């Protein structure tokens, strides 16, 4: 029987929390999580030194059909860029900061996932 929407939501929340902790352990600092705008959602927004990092967390039970970053296609990238622009418009104190887009690929058990952190996974001017 396929997992329910609630099961998927809970697994997604667990993976995002683990990814957040992974990034905190690596020295990044929290700014926001699940920042929702009409144009899209940002899973995590963090600071890496003076750089504002927009993080997309992508979970796959296994990489048999490709890694999570494979699902961040041009359409998804544009949506993330629009959400980042909305975030910056609502949080003017970061408007002049350097920004980057990272992807965290999570794989395996959602309670203890393995991570592949793709720093600077794409750039706004690539889309």
| Long-range contacts of residues 113-120, Cβ cutoff 8 Å, at least 24 apart | 113/15, 113/18, 113/19, 113/59, 115/18, 115/19, 115/22, 116/67, 116/69, 117/22, 117/23, 117/26, 118/69
Q: Count the domains in the chain.
A: 1
Distance CA 98, CA 113 (A): 29
Contact 115, 105 (CB under 8 A): yes
Q: Tens-of-pLDDT digits for all 127 residues of the chain?
A: 567 777 778 888 899 999 999 999 999 999 999 999 999 999 999 999 999 999 999 987 655 556 667 778 999 999 999 999 999 999 999 999 999 999 999 998 888 999 999 999 999 987 6
CATH number, position 46: 3.40.1350.10
- pLDDT, residue 46, reads 98
Contact 120, 102 (CB under 8 A): yes
Give the structural domain span for 59. Answer: 5-126
CA distances from 41 to 51, 65, 79 (A): 19, 25, 8
Three-state secondary structure call for residue 1 = coil
């Amino acid at each position: 029987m396929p997992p329910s929407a609630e099961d998927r939501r809970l697994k997604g929340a667990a993976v995002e929390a683990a990814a957040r902790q992974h990034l905190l352990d690596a020295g990044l600092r929290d700014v926001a999580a699940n920042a929702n705008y009409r144009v899209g959602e940002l899973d995590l927004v963090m600071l890496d030194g003076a750089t504002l990092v927009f993080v997309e967390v992508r979970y796959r039970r296994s990489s048999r059909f490709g890694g999570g970053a494979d699902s961040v296609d041009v359409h998804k990238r544009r949506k993330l860029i629009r959400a980042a622009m909305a975030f910056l418009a609502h949080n003017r104190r970061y408007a002049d900061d350097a920004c980057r887009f990272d992807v965290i690929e999570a794989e395996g058990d959602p309670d203890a996932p393995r991570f592949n952190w793709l720093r600077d996974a794409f750039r706004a001017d690539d889309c």
